[in-house]
A and B are shown apart, each in its own frame.
Chain A
Amino acid sequence: MEALLHQILAGLATGGIYASLALALVMIYQATHLVNFAQGEMAMFTTYIAWSLVNAGVPYWLAFAATVLLAFLFGVLIERLVIRPVEDAPVLAVVVVFIALLLILNSVTGWIYSYTIKSFPSPFPKESVFGKWLSSHELGAIGVTLVVVLLVYGFFRFTPLGLAMRAAAQNPASARLVGIRVGWMLALGWGLAAAVGAVAGMMVAPIVYLDPNMMGGILLYAFAAALVGGIDNPWGAVFGGFLVGVLENVLGAFVIGNELKLSVALAIIVGVLLVRPSGFFGSVHVTRV
């Protein structure tokens, strides 16, 4: 029983990280109706920036803030330079661009920082308040996730800019008619998603260690999370993140073993698509044919 509880709590901690990345995926999906396959590598790349800063002696939270800011600018830049030119291109062309971005970021990071695994610091104290139940980093990661989710929610719900971004994603033509610069809203969306992803990267790096391939598995879990929650529902993505994290840990520890953990994500993806493609909270789209 104790072991189960421990696995559930640990699952919530990693689940929070999946939730953040899933949230980033959903943000891009809502604006473009495409899943950004490079989201994980973008997060990984920005986590390396944080590593460089920390290694250069910058205090952790300052490096954290700087990384989030740089990630935001990086996301905006990617939208402007890479995504914008293929705005009206067929879906598959855009998907190829996403995959290219994934490979480029992965290789460039490996080239700059080498593929050797690096350890990444946690900002939270070594000794845990909950003892064996939950390490303080896990607890901290849950807390950081919740703060990120609340900030994102508050931004979209209560600020005029957030409202404009929702409007631009939903109805670009009408958004232009009230004077919203739709192109910039998309770029901002990319920036925000990249910033949220960067937080996920910095929170997961102390657990999985830093290497250019660290986000491959995480991105799969995030996909599964976004799908479980409904790919167009931010709350669903957060819920899905925690659920997938717990399932992964509990099944990995007691049922299928840690070596097969990643297949939980794949099974969830296939299962959701087969049984309930709109997930728990997604909207069902009906099209006349």
Chain B
Amino acid sequence: MALLEARALHAGYGQTRVLHGMDFALEKGAITALLGANGAGKTTTLRALCGLVKTRGEIRFAGERIDGRKTEDIVRLGVAHVPDGRGTFAHLTTEENLRLGAYIRKDRASIDADLQRMYGYFPRLAERRRQQAGTLSGGEQQMLAISRALMLAPKLMLLDEPSFGLAPLLVVELFDILRRINQREQVTMFIVEQNAAMALELANSAYLLETGRVVLSGSSDVLKRDDAVRRAYLGY
């Protein structure tokens, strides 16, 4: 069953059109990857899903139309976006950043428990809990962004290039954690990645985007074996 479905999704900035009628569906509980070259419209797709850009077409989340709604309202349905650039609240402490993630939740006791769970996933954040988040390293801020999104207790997580700027070892660790979170907490994930090999390793299925259109889709295994994908994105 699809948790989110997009039909004939168009989006753009002012006069510039970026997405030209995309169709895709995100399977509930699964990880879906969105691959494509620079400028293909990957980030715009994620931004379109949570109302950060003007869209045309239809987006359904858990059966409900969400296109044209305000970002805050879409977030309140359980859509957490880990934006590119990480969106850190630089002048607030690490812990305040995490608590903000749970802003829409009212269940105080489980918020505290979730906070501890995040520190369990990312012990580095526990060490830096009282530190201004802007002073964290790039990798730590990425962990913070992911944890902040998880604090929402989301049904769907939109991840924009979680591997960006991270050391290779850290990327492996991060993807490992994402897999664990997906399996344990049944969070549906939609992940935009430049690192296609790793993304296909993590994801159950993937969409290939070229200049604002879906040109190929299927299970990760099928895409991994596709000649065009292999040459263009996997490099062998």
Whether the pair A180, B89 counts as a contact (CB closer than 8 A) is no
Whether the pair B152, A174 counts as a contact (CB closer than 8 A) is no
Whether the pair B89, A170 counts as a contact (CB closer than 8 A) is yes
Q: Which among B96, B99, B103 has the highest number of chain A CB atoms within 10 Å?
A: B103
- Interface SS of B by simple majority: loop
B-contact 0/1 string along A104-123, CB 8 Å cutoff:
00000000000000000000
| A180 to B, closest residue via Cβ | B103
CB distance from A162 to the nearest CB of B (A): 10
Measured between beta carbons, the chain B residues less than 8 angstroms from A179 are: 72, 75-76, 103-104, 152
Give the contact-size bracket for chain B. 20 to 34
CB distance from A111 to the nearest CB of B (A): 40
Measured between beta carbons, the chain A residues less than 8 angstroms from B76 are: 179
- Interface SS of A by simple majority: helix
Whether the pair B92, A167 counts as a contact (CB closer than 8 A) is yes
B-contact 0/1 string along A67-95, CB 8 Å cutoff:
00000000000000000000000000000
A-contact 0/1 string along B71-109, CB 8 Å cutoff:
110011000110100011111100010011101100000
Whether the pair A170, B101 counts as a contact (CB closer than 8 A) is no
Whether the pair A173, B87 counts as a contact (CB closer than 8 A) is yes
CB distance from B74 to the nearest CB of A (A): 9
Whether the pair A160, B89 counts as a contact (CB closer than 8 A) is no
CB distance from A54 to the nearest CB of B (A): 40
B-contact 0/1 string along A148-189, CB 8 Å cutoff:
000000000000100110110011011111111110000000
B-contact 0/1 string along A12-34, CB 8 Å cutoff:
00000000000000000000000
Measured between beta carbons, the chain B residues less than 8 angstroms from A182 are: 72
Measured between beta carbons, the chain A residues less than 8 angstroms from B30 are: none
Given contacts A167-B92, A174-B83, contact A181 B100 (CB under 8 A): no
Measured between beta carbons, the chain A residues less than 8 angstroms from B70 are: 176
Whether the pair A167, B87 counts as a contact (CB closer than 8 A) is no
Answer yes or no: B213 CB below 8 A from chain A CBs.
Answer: no
Answer yes or no: B203 CB below 8 A from chain A CBs.
Answer: no
Q: How far is the CA of A181 from the CA of B75 in the complex (A)?
A: 11
CB distance from A87 to the nearest CB of B (A): 15
Measured between beta carbons, the chain B residues less than 8 angstroms from A173 are: 52, 83, 87
Shortest 7 CB-CB contacts between residues of A and residues of B: A174-B87, A179-B104, A179-B75, A176-B71, A178-B103, A177-B81, A179-B76
